[in-house]
Amino acid sequence: MRVLASAPAKIILFGEHSVVYGKPAIAAAIDMRTYVRAEFNKNGRIRIEARDIKTPGLTVSFSEDQIYFETDYGKAAEVLSYVREAINLVMEEADRQKGVTVSITSQIPVGAGLGSSAAVAVATIGAVSKLLGLELSGEEIARLGHRVELLVQGASSGIDPTISAIGGFLHYKRGSFEHLPFMELPIVVGYTGSSGSTKELVAMVRETYEEMPDIIEPILLSMGKVVDKAREILISELDEDIRFRLLGKLMNINHGLLDALGVSTKKLSELVYAAKTAGALGAKITGAGGGGCMYALAPGKQNEVATAIKIAGGVPMITRISREGLRIEEVVK
Ligand code: PMV
């Protein structure tokens, strides 16, 4: 038997950083996917083949505590911890230990803040659980994905695996999730090509907060209000063009506030302004900043905005919100 599953990347639409201070955030799944194929093997080992994970190819076998590197490339090794923990958790859940070969391909750049680790964990959980005959709900998959992140990273809000498992839009506040109604958003993601450290950026904001709470607190409060307003617009019955225009404005405000916190970079700002100049209704950092990605809302202007991002030195990705989270693509008996 062979199962192919896929899970999407995510962007934080609004509320990164302020979410760390108990304010709400809104994230969405986007139409870029990681594909995981799982099948039984005869040698009893867990074998992971990461053939195209947007870092150079890597094949590794695990048996007991031994790891066999068949090719060896740095960044990809991190991805494998997520895959390995995901397989272990599903086997525990199913109470079955079998030799399984898992092979991964991905459209999601690693280390860009697009949730590539959560997507690989969720797709692995989806493929291996199906292979072992476990029927898990979206919520159960999200919970297992969150446990994988906790095991590998030590800490996690659970936003990434939840959105990757369930898809669409997710409003998050202090540990509780609300699935918002779906709407099409024509967006362009711009990758700076470098990645900031989420841990360091969160610590940097914390330091500024402690040095001048009277100034930072109102910024965080405004960011929370931006998210409240965005939620109101997303669930409203307003015409699409009005919704786009208002969301674009909120994106610009949220970007300015993030810039005030010091998490933007020259490159991120250049991509944001290039996108706006090319006709985007709004553009902002998505994720921790310090590198990573921005995104722009660009109805009818996605190609122009993608070109502008490219000229400004970024990697553009034209995409849209993915209604679906984890998807079982194929089951071959
Ligand atoms: O680096 P990303 O895309 O996973 O985003 C981090 C979001 C922060 O709010 C900066 C940190 C957090 O844990 O919520």
Check which CATH number belongs to the domain holding 71 and give it.
Answer: 3.30.230.10
* Residue found by looking up tokens 């070969």 in the block: 101
pLDDT at site 35: 95
Give dist(CA 170, CA 156) in Å, integer. 16
User: Residues 20-62: pLDDT tens digits?
Assistant: 999 999 999 999 999 999 999 998 899 988 776 554 344 555 5
Whether residue 329 is contained in a domain is answered as no
Count up the domains in the chain and report the number: 2
What residue owns the CA closest to ligand 1's atom 11? 17
Of ligand 1's atoms, which has the minimum distance to the CA of residue 17? 9
Can you give the pTM of this predicted structure? Answer: 0.90
Are the C-beta atoms of residues 281 and 247 closer than 8 Å to each other? yes
Indicate if 198 and 311 belong to the same structural domain: yes
Instruction: Residue 67: name the closest of 54, 80, 56 by CA.
Output: 80
For 220, the domain range is: 187-319
Give dist(CA 126, CA 45) in Å, integer. 19
Instruction: Residue 246: name the closest of 231, 256, 266 by CA.
Output: 231
Ligand 1, from 20, 194, 198, 254: best to mutate by most atoms within 8 Å of Cβ?
A: 198
Whether residue 91 is contained in a domain is answered as yes
pLDDT at site 147: 97
65 is catalytic: no
CA triple 294-295-296, angle to 5 deg: 135
Whether residue 71 is contained in a domain is answered as yes
Indicate if 168 and 205 belong to the same structural domain: no
Handedness of CA 235, 239, 240, 242 (dihedral sign): negative
- How far, in Å, is the centroid of ligand 1 from the Cα of 286? 9
pLDDT at site 57: 42
Indicate if 176 and 230 belong to the same structural domain: no
Tokens representing residue 87 in the block: 């397989």
Indicate if 42 and 118 belong to the same structural domain: yes
Indicate if 56 and 148 belong to the same structural domain: yes
DSSP β-bridge partners for residue 48: 60, 102
- Give the residue from 152, 181, 210 where a domain finishes: 181
Indicate if 175 and 154 belong to the same structural domain: yes
Q: Return the CATH number at 246.
A: 3.30.70.890
Handedness of CA 275, 281, 287, 289 (dihedral sign): positive
Q: Which of these is catalytic: 31, 72, 160, 214?
A: 160
- Give the residue from 131, 154, 181 where a domain finishes: 181
- How far, in Å, is the centroid of ligand 1 from the Cα of 17? 6
Whether residue 327 is contained in a domain is answered as no
- Write out residues in the chain with pLDDT < 50, as ranges: 55-58, 69-72
Give dist(CA 144, CA 139) in Å, integer. 9
Which pairing describes strands 46-52 and 100-106: parallel, antiparallel, or unpaired? parallel
pLDDT at site 111: 79
Indicate if 14 and 84 belong to the same structural domain: yes
Whether residue 332 is contained in a domain is answered as no
Whether residue 134 is contained in a domain is answered as yes
> Which residues, 6 or more positions from 264, have their beta carbon under 8 angstroms from its beta carbon?
255, 258, 272, 285, 289
pLDDT at site 56: 38
- How far, in Å, is the centroid of ligand 1 from the Cα of 160? 9
Indicate if 218 and 127 belong to the same structural domain: no
Indicate if 237 and 98 belong to the same structural domain: no
Whether residue 325 is contained in a domain is answered as no
Indicate if 175 and 193 belong to the same structural domain: no
- How far, in Å, is the centroid of ligand 1 from the Cα of 100? 32
Indicate if 61 and 156 belong to the same structural domain: yes
Give dist(CA 4, CA 14) in Å, integer. 32
Indicate if 139 and 154 belong to the same structural domain: yes
- Give the residue from 120, 151, 181 where a domain finishes: 181
Q: Is 207 exposed, middle or buried (0-12, 13-18, 19+ CB in 10 A)?
A: exposed
Whether residue 313 is contained in a domain is answered as yes
Scanning the chain, the segments in alpha helix (DSSP H) are 76-94, 116-131, 138-153, 159-166, 198-211, 213-234, 240-261, 266-277, 302-311
